[in-house]
Structure 1
Amino acid sequence: MVHRLDPLVIRHTHRVPVPDGPAGEGAVAARQFDAALMSVGFKLSAELLEHLSGLARDTVVGIAARTLRTVRELVGDHVRHNVYFIDFPAGVPDTFDFWMRCVAEALADDTTRANTLRQLSTGVVDLLTLPAYGAYQHTYARMLAHHDELIAAAGDRLTVLHRGGSSEDELTSLYLALAGSPTPLGEEALADLRELAGHCADGPQPAEIPVRENRAVLNLARVMAGSEPLLDTVTDVLRLACAFAGGDVTLRAPTRLRALPRPVRRTLLAGLDAVVAAAPAKLADVHAHREMWKRLGERLHPHEYPRWPHAADVFAVARGEKAARSLDGRVEELLAAGDLTGAVALLKSAPGKLFRSLDRLLRAARTQEEREAVVAAAEQTVPDVSGRVVLSVREHLHNRARETGERRVFVNRLGRAWVTDDTRPPVPAPARDRLIGALDAELRRRLPATDHLLIDPDVLDVALPLSGKATAAGLGVLPRGSVSPVDGELLRFFVYWKQTERTTDYDLSALLLDADYATDSWLSYTNLREVEGEHSGDITDAPDGASEFIDLRLGAVRSACIVPQVDIYAGEGFEETEESFFGFMLREAGQRGRPFEPRTVRMKSELRGPGRVALPLAFLRGSDGRWRAKWLHLYLKGAPAANRVEDNRVTVATLLRGIVEREQFTVRHLTELMTGGATTVTVWDGRTLPAGPVTYIGLERPDGLHPASRIITPENLRDLIPA
């Protein structure tokens, strides 16, 4: 039964859980397993292949079946990717010629002739009324018959799967890593933690749970297993109530709080009473979610439990019947009265809030004495601030020295982006530089010592994942703001979606911009062919799933920037479809192959965000002529329907300028802080590995590292963030 959870381990760690026995003759099955994996761009490590070869054949076959199913889904090969134009990328017609052909076929059809003639008489024809438009004109099997086999190339992706321990050991290790994450998890990882928490409730537990939403997931598992929940704020109790209701423990989306069993009500009220009794000032936290507290009070019936009077106070505050001044309110009163020094002194009791307010406080300071008070308070409290906040403020202060003061780009935790005018005065340079020095010193103090640091140079420009919300789930996905090399002659984007109930039309497009972010051209269903590439054709309904592709010859691209985007023309949003994902492939010119070839997929990410326009990443050509990917993970609000690349060019260009010109805190910056003292630093050449243990940081784990090495890849990059 435990093997049911093995796919979680494979997805998160690229390790395959394997048993120690029973022994047998599994060599043939292991080699067949390895060959099947290579067809989708994966491979067994030498150690894993050797271990599987010594197991019983049936055991190897069971592991192979689970693993193949998981990696196919990971890369997007678990669905059929058909195309409208059967010979794509060959045979894509001129857009106008294609539309005229669809009109001609509609006129030749007795059932559509009259309606088409009426439309022609008005001068406007709705493409969606033409039978030949928007629906596959051939089967998947027939499409495959039109394409030659993919020719293998040295640049094809090959992701190595490594040997894991037993399923129980691997699941426990993954559970502890996710539960103890120093940064919030993404939606998929949080769902995985929820499943793991139930399985691991009786086993080892993390020493610390820094992220509150993770704590809510664990608390639900603890209560279900008969243990006491870990609660030290009133909001912890609210999150736990949402977890019991199957709702959103992040408290971003409203949760429908249903009637709760009496034992659960007692658990929540007892926990709430204990928190407030120990620290009555925490009643002030109720104001942040007062409407949810009111609704929860209707479900908990606190008046039925007079032995927990402090719990009743929480609901009295929510209803406005009891006063509870918040720290934020007191700070605002002091600032309004011009008492900045008093506000800073008060904020020292909440170091995280102080650090998030530093920019505002420094701008509000009118004298050198006030600025000195702000900086001194930050220097005194920085040891008590989480590493994630220290890094975030460090990145912010660095960019404040570079910002032009014209436009600001905002991105919320859901990936929704918007732009507004920047009316802020600058932060005084001496104070900013002094704070940056203090933050760097604190980060250097917290980073673990290492004797030998082995670094893959391709990872240096990867942004640290200060939140899992800034990275989509999938394969080869990097955090927002990261830069990674793109090497290949042909760049092919793809999108796949499968609607749940309503007719749903997603449109894959690519916007090509010059060095000043002005539009050069675009590829979309309204412009199927350009000098640089081709569009595979518009699909307008996806009851069984649909795919669209764009092919670009990088050597022919004259623009400085390529921005793929997915526009929702009609139907279900990204979070409503049964499944939706985006990705890109890289090929050499002579490889041929099917429109979708898993071995050439470099990235596949889930599309699960707000808004009606998705911007997963952009491709930038550097001064050296090489292309690099800049990871965005952004969603624009868009229009309710009929979103098109032509209509959002200005917004996309403005957003892109703000993201591209902002410098993230990257692995490069952190490793520069780590390399002091006696640390030996080796930049890996991709071939020779040190004989002894190292701390390795790279995009993928090499096969053959010393078993005692510490390994950091994008799957666990959050482990670099100091506590």
Structure 2
Amino acid sequence: MDINDLVVRRTLRVPVPEGPSGDAAAVVRQFDAVLMSAGFKLSSELFSILSQRDSGFVMDIAVGTLGAVRRMVGDHVEHNVYFRDFPRGVPDTVEFWTECLLEALADPEAAAQVAADARIGTLNLLSLPKYGRYQHDYLEMLDHHERFVEDAADRVTVLRAGGDPSSEAGELYGALAAATIPGNDDDRAALTALAEFCAFDHVQPQDIPIRENRALINRVRVDLGAPLLVDTVTDVLRLACAISDGDVTLASPTRFGGFPRRARRTLLTALNGVVEANPAALGDVNRYAERWKRLGERLHPHEFALPHAADVFAVARGQKSAPSLAARVEDLLTRDDVPGATRLLRNAPGQLFRSADRLLRSANERDLPTVTAEIGAVAGQVSGRVLLSLREHLENREAPGKRRVFINQSARGHIAPDQREPIPGAILTELREILDAELRTRLGDRRWVVAPDVLDIALPISGKAIADGFGTLPRGSRLPIAGNLLRFFVYWREARQTTDFDLSALMLDADFGNPEWLSYTNLTAVGGSHSGDVIEAPEGASEFIDLDLSKVPCDIVIPQVNIFSGEGFGQVAESFFGYMLRTAEQEGAPFEPRTVRMKSGLRGRGRVALPMVFVRTGNEWVALSTHLHLTGEQDGNQVEDNHISTSDLVGSILRRKYLTIRYLAELTGARIGAPDPAGGPVTYVGMEVPQELPDGSTVITPGYLGEIVPA
């Protein structure tokens, strides 16, 4: 992974190493002009710095930076469309199919296949030579489109000046290591690359709140022979997974390979030390007993005189008893001893908070105050994300009889009836006040200033709910849509087998009824058009949907990407989704990078992706981030078949109350608007870095929302 590329994508700063002086003003102007075509621009400071350097030096920086920003918005690939003149010239669906059939009948080989299909009562569109395969190349498609007309409303993202690459990498490494919320796959890949790059000549982080990140950094420490940061047996298991290039989140099992003797001694010594310091840690072994057994087969603990480490594998094999905290709590709850279970959980404050709902439901009226008091007593020992998670949970707990939405680590969601007993309103109010007070204490030592346009962005309780990409926001975030012409797109490139992704749009009314759709089976409908079905992507393929929101006769638009056949989102060489906003007068190619407002990777394990939803509120439209997947079928997924499950899942997300930056602003008494340049240092939360800020201020933009969450 290129470190400079990583810094640009993650920070919107361009690393500027030491280099020869010169006069590169002309080159920098060209660089800036090309950046503008992709929707980016050099800050005045960066423009000035580069202008005083050697031209060749600047050219090297320009090439790398342009590659990085183009990948950010999806402009690094050629976006061809099946219908060359899209969004104009899209035919009626049946007429198009008839045209494909008539052309096939003129080809003896294709006609024979059509006849064979007809004998069994079918017509296989995929067997028709003209269907689903580009009939023109990318340049021919461009020749049929008018020049793109720039507009003042087009996106312009400013790139700022960074320091030398090494210091920029070290700063980003420290920020990712200190993250207070779990990241996604892209975050972990970035942290791994930075940990390796910064292994020898950078200060190593000591405070790593997220266990998964700790495992990745501990892997580098193993190579360096440095002390490990572990205090639970599961920390050691995660480290073993990291060394084996496995899943440090433990969401899926890792196939352990052979470990060198030095690594085996390091892992077993760490394990021995954890258990020696805290024998109760053995209780955590049972949760991953099978994985410990497999790991024991590779570590050969009998070769080392480390008795406490040997106990771990004895517990995993059932040769030694070590009841977990969860098992002891479960035993107390089966005996209706809710106060006892609550007091026991005080030893694990995070687990107490995660068990709060069950404890409150299980408690009788006499015991409820005890549970509430115990939760309040340990609030100061719980991480900020756990506080926020429980606070958001309580915000959605008062309405009984609704359906619950469950979303796993792979972003797959499903709905189930909410059969939980209600919790008294007075208890919910008391707990909310306890949590608000604790969060206010942690957040209130800063002067907060919040821009109005970020108030409805959801707080990032987990980075796993944020897809990697450009302009992506936490699940539940809402941003207004400025303009009527909305175009969303999908791109994919198959790796090993023929793969067909299908872009569709499900349209619903405000009550999630009266479904209509745009898809390859309905190319023109409800104020929009589809760019045409592409059924293979050996060199990459794109599909687009164009909508005039002023003409859409519905209230909810749900883009979805269906895998019709072939490789999954995590198997293809590359895939991403995004949306653009433009005016009808701008013309241009189907894909114009400076109109891209959001682009996110598609890497979930489901076969249907629901990246976001567009919702009409009054006379305005908003974009709601969802980052969801449906399991779907192995083949043949279509919007017509999954619209009911899609409607249910999206409806639950839309009805859910998310903690947003508005909640934070109200909690801290933040100033809404622009900062006062004459005032003291502030923490500013906004979409972009403002031009004027008091010295010593901190800026938090969407890419750094995790910094809001207190440790």
Distance 2:343 2:193 in 1: 43
Who is 2:644 aligned against?
650
Do 2:81 and 2:543's aligned partners in 1 also have CA atoms closer than 8 Å?
A: yes
Residue number in structure 1 paired with 2:261: 262
C-alpha displacement at 1:207, in angstroms? 4.0
Matches within 5 A, 1:88-127: 88-127=86-125
Inter-partner Cα distance in structure 2 for 1:347 and 1:578: 46
Matched, 1:701 2:697: no
Cα deviation code 1:605-630 (max 9, x no counterpart):
0000011000000000002x100011
Aligned to 2:568, the other structure's residue is in SS state coil
1: distance between equivalents of 2:659 and 2:679?
31
C-alpha distance in 1, partners of 2:493/2:309? 46
CA contact (8 A) 1:184 1:469 kept: yes
Distance 1:139 1:473 in 2: 30
* Matches of 1:135 and 1:224, distance apart in 2: 50
For residues 233-270 of structure 1, give each alpha carbon's deviation from its aligned partner in whole angstroms, at most 9, with x where no partner exists: 11111111111111111111211101111001110111
**Residue number among 524, 534, 549 corresponding to 1:529 in the alignment:** 524
2:673 aligned partner, one-letter code: V
Aligned to 1:132: 130
Letter in 2 for 1:296: L
Q: 1:447 touches 1:674 (CA, 8 Å); kept in 2?
A: yes
Q: Within 1, Cα distance between the matches of 2:445 and 2:321? A: 49
Q: Give 1:700 shift.
A: 2.1
Task: Report if the CA contact (8 A) 2:147-2:588 is conserved.
Answer: yes
Tell me the residue number matched to 1:636. 630
Q: Secondary structure at the residue paired with 1:519?
A: coil
2:376 equivalent to 1:382: no
Aligned to 2:481: 486
Q: 1:22-171, aligned counterparts within 5 Å? A: 22-171=20-169
The answer to whether the aligner puts 1:504 opposite 2:499 as a matched pair is yes
Report the equivalent of 1:400. 397
Q: CA deviation at 1:123?
A: 4.1
Using the TM superposition, give the Cα deviation of residue 19 of structure 1 relative to its aligned residue in structure 2, in angstroms: 2.6
Moved more, 196-205 or 573-582: 196-205
- 8 Å contact 2:515–2:643 — kept in the other structure? no
CA distance in 2, matches of 1:526, 1:571: 19
- Tell me the residue number matched to 1:579: 574
In structure 2, do the counterparts of structure 1 residues 232 and 354 end up closer, same or farther at CA, with 3 Å as the change threshold?
same
CA deviations 1:460-507 (Å, max 9, x no partner) are 111111111000000000010111111122100100000001110000
Paired residues of 1:415 and 1:633 also in contact (CA < 8 A)? yes
Q: Which runs of 5+ in 1 are unaligned?
A: none
Kindly provide the CA deviation profile for residues 163-193 of structure 1, in whole angstroms up to 9, marking residues without a partner as x.
1111111111100000110011111011010
**1:409 CA displacement:** 0.6
- Alpha-carbon distance, 1:9 to partner: 0.9
Are the counterparts in 2 of residues 510 and 523 from structure 1 also a CA contact under 8 Å?
yes
For the pair 1:466 / 2:461, whether they are aligned, the reply is yes
Query: In the TM superposition, what is the alpha-carbon distance from 1:226 to its structure 2 partner?
Result: 2.0
Deviation at 1:59, TM superposition (A): 1.6
Bigger drift between 238-247 and 202-211 goes to 202-211
Paired with 2:52 and 2:694, the residues of 1 have a C-alpha distance of: 22
> Kindly, what percent of the aligned residue pairs are identical?
54
3-state SS in 1 of match to 2:168: helix
Letter in 2 for 1:722: P
Structure 2 CA distance for aligned equivalents of residues 78 and 628 of structure 1 = 28
TM-superposed deviation, 1:21: 3.9
| Distance (Å, rounded) in 1 between the aligned partners of 2:561 and 2:147 | 29
1:442 partner letter:
E
Assess, with a 3 A threshold, how the Cα gap between structure 1 residues 473 and 387 changes in structure 2: closer, same or farther.
same
Q: Secondary structure at the match of 1:66?
A: helix
**2:589 aligns with one of 594, 599, 602:** 594
> In 1, distance between residues paired with 2:709 and 2:514?
38
Are residue 721 (structure 1) and residue 690 (structure 2) matched? no
Aligned to 1:283: 282
Contact persistence 2:452–2:672 (CA under 8 A): no
Conserved? CA contact 1:514–1:520, under 8 Å: yes
Partner of 2:420: 424
Mapped partners of 1:80, 1:571: distance in 2: 22
Q: Which amino acid aligns with 2:174?
A: L
Q: Which moved more, 1:50-59 or 1:211-220?
A: 50-59
Alignment partner, residue 664 of structure 1: 658
3-state SS of paired residue (1:559): coil
Which residues of 2 match residues 219-368 of structure 1 at below 5 A?
A: 219-305=218-304, 307-367=305-365
SS at match of 1:400: coil
Whether the aligned pair in 2 keeps the contact of 1:153 and 1:591 (CA below 8 Å) is yes
User: What's the TM-score, normalizing by structure 2?
Assistant: 0.98
Letter in 1 for 2:445: A
Within 1, Cα distance between the matches of 2:679 and 2:367?
A: 55
Amino acid at match of 2:296: G
The one-letter amino acid paired with 1:600 is T
Per-residue deviation, 1:115: 2.0
For residues 616-627 of structure 1, what are the structure 2 equivalents within 5 Å?
616-623=611-618, 625-627=619-621
Q: Distance in 2 between matches of 1:333 and 1:622?
A: 49
Per the alignment, in what secondary structure is the counterpart of residue 556 of structure 1? coil
Against the structure 1 CA distance between its residues 693 and 385, is the aligned structure 2 distance closer, same or farther, given a 3 Å change threshold?
closer
Whole-angstrom CA distance in 2 between matches of 1:657 and 1:312: 51
SS of match in other structure, 1:111: helix
Contact 2:526 2:553 in 1 (8 A): no
How far off its partner does 1:691 sit? 7.7
Instruction: Check whether the contact 1:46–1:703 (CA below 8 A) recurs between aligned residues.
Output: no
Deviation at 1:693, TM superposition (A): 4.3
Q: Distance in 1 between matches of 2:79 and 2:591?
A: 6
Task: Please report how far the alpha carbon of residue 338 of structure 1 lies from its aligned counterpart in structure 2 after TM superposition.
Answer: 1.1
Maintained 8 Å contact 1:492/1:584: yes
Residue 532 of structure 1: CA displacement? Answer: 0.8
> Aligned partners of 1:670, 1:702: CA distance in 2, in Å?
20
Question: Does the 8 A contact of 2:40 with 2:158 survive in 1?
Answer: yes
Count matched residues: 710
**8 Å Cα contact 1:460/1:667 also seen in 2:** yes
For residue 161 of structure 1, report the CA deviation from its aligned partner.
Answer: 0.6
**Partner-residue secondary structure (3-state), 1:496:** strand
Q: 1:352 to 1:191 in 2, by over 3 A?
A: same
Residues of 2 paired with 1:690 and 1:129: CA distance?
Answer: 70
Task: Give 1:185's aligned residue.
Answer: 183
- Output the CA distance in 1 between the equivalents of 2:376 and 2:255: 43
Bigger Cα displacement from structure 2, 702-711 vs 80-89: 702-711
* Structure 1 position 366, deviation (Å): 1.6
Is 1:107–1:117's contact at 8 Å kept on the other side of the alignment? Answer: no
The partner residue of 1:412 within 388, 402, 408 is: 408
Conserved? CA contact 1:519–1:649, under 8 Å: no
Q: Is the 8 A contact 1:502 1:572 kept in 2?
A: yes
Which letter maps to 1:655? L
Which residue is equivalent to 2:558? 563
Partner residue of 1:434 out of 430, 433, 437: 430
SS across alignment from 2:586? coil
Q: CA deviation at 1:28?
A: 1.2
Does the aligned pair in 2 maintain the 1:9–1:171 contact within 8 Å? yes
Q: Distance in 1 between matches of 2:260 and 2:436?
A: 50
Displacement of 1:598 = 0.2
What amino acid sits opposite 1:684 in the alignment? Answer: A
Deviation at 1:692, TM superposition (A): 6.3
CA distance in 2, matches of 1:556, 1:447: 45
Give yes or no for the alignment of 1:13 onto 2:1: no
Native 8 Å contact 2:251 2:409 kept in 1: no
Return the letter of the residue paired with 2:10: H
Of 529, 537, 545, the residue aligned with 1:542 is 537
For residues 628-670 of structure 1, the C-alpha deviation after alignment (integer angstroms, 9 at most, x for no partner) is 0111000100011100001111111111111011111111101
Offset, 1:124? 2.2
What do the CA deviations read for 1:567-596 (whole angstroms, capped 9, x no partner)? 000000000000000000001111110011
Q: Which structure 2 segments of 5+ residues have no match?
A: none
